[in-house]
């Protein structure tokens, strides 16, 4: 005897099933995150915990996946698509930004959060061909703001580094 829930799940498209599976995985990892982070400081305030950003990211991923499933279920029948036009995308820019982000992630523990973020944002603006003035304003203001929020206010530890 099939339950109505199982029959409805069986009629889902592969993308909705994948979204549900990824949302469930994100919730499971979120629940286990305090055991996965070693050593986990149980005496730390919640906003100073090493698990804050992983848990927040996983929660956003899980809720976003469920919201996307809901959105796909209630798509308008008008035939209009809300998807972006991918013909304007440049795959070379996307690959360059992914490589730059990979280098940025590797550089943060060694060079420092503020310096790495500034260099990454300047490189990203250069790769995406922003104007020089816009690049400087964005890179300096965003890197300093993020440094103050993450390092000074939330006290996120990024490891020992050469610079700030």
Spatial contact of 111 and 143, defined as CB atoms under 8 Å apart: no
Q: What is the pLDDT of residues 97-122, one digit of tens each?
A: 889 998 988 888 888 889 999 999 99
Q: What is the pLDDT of residues 4-59, one digit of tens each?
A: 655 555 567 777 888 888 889 988 888 887 777 667 677 777 666 667 777 888 88
Q: If 0-12 CB within 10 Å is exposed, 13-18 middle and 19+ buried, where does residue 16 land? A: middle
Tokens 């940025």 belong to 104
Which pLDDT score, from 0 to 100, does residue 94 have? 84
Q: If 0-12 CB within 10 Å is exposed, 13-18 middle and 19+ buried, where does residue 38 land? A: exposed
Which pLDDT score, from 0 to 100, does residue 77 have? 46
Residues 6+ apart with CB under 8 A from 29: 36, 58
CA distance 63 to 22: 11
Show the tokens assigned to 26.
């994100």
How is the chain split into domains, by residue range?
13-73, 90-153
Per-residue pLDDT at 163 exceeds 80 = no
Which pLDDT score, from 0 to 100, does residue 93 have? 85
Query: Across residues 152-159, what is the average pLDDT?
Result: 76
Q: What is the pTM of this model?
A: 0.54
Which pLDDT score, from 0 to 100, does residue 142 have? 94
Residues 6+ apart with CB under 8 A from 14: none
More confident residue, 162 or 150: 150
How many angstroms separate the Cα of 45 from the Cα of each of 51, 99, 108, 126?
A: 11, 35, 24, 39
CA distance 14 to 27: 20
Spatial contact of 138 and 117, defined as CB atoms under 8 Å apart: no
CA distance 13 to 35: 34
């Amino acid at each position: 005897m099939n339950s109505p829930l199982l029959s409805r799940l069986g009629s889902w498209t592969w993308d909705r099933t994948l979204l549900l599976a990824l949302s469930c995985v994100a919730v499971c990892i979120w629940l286990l995150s305090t055991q996965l982070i070693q050593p986990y400081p149980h005496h730390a305030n919640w906003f100073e915990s090493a698990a804050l950003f992983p848990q927040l990211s996983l929660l956003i991923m899980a809720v976003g996946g469920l919201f996307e499933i809901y959105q796909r279920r209630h798509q308008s029948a008008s035939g209009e698509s809300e998807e972006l036009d991918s013909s304007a995308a440049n795959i070379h820019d996307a690959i360059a930004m992914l490589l730059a982000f990979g280098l940025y992630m590797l550089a943060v523990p060694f060079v420092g959060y503020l310096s790495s973020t500034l260099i990454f944002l300047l490189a990203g603006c250069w790769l995406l061909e922003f104007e020089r003035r816009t690049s400087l304003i964005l890179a300096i203001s965003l890197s300093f703001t993020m440094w103050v929020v993450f390092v000074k206010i939330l006290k996120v530890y990024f490891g020992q580094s050469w610079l700030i």
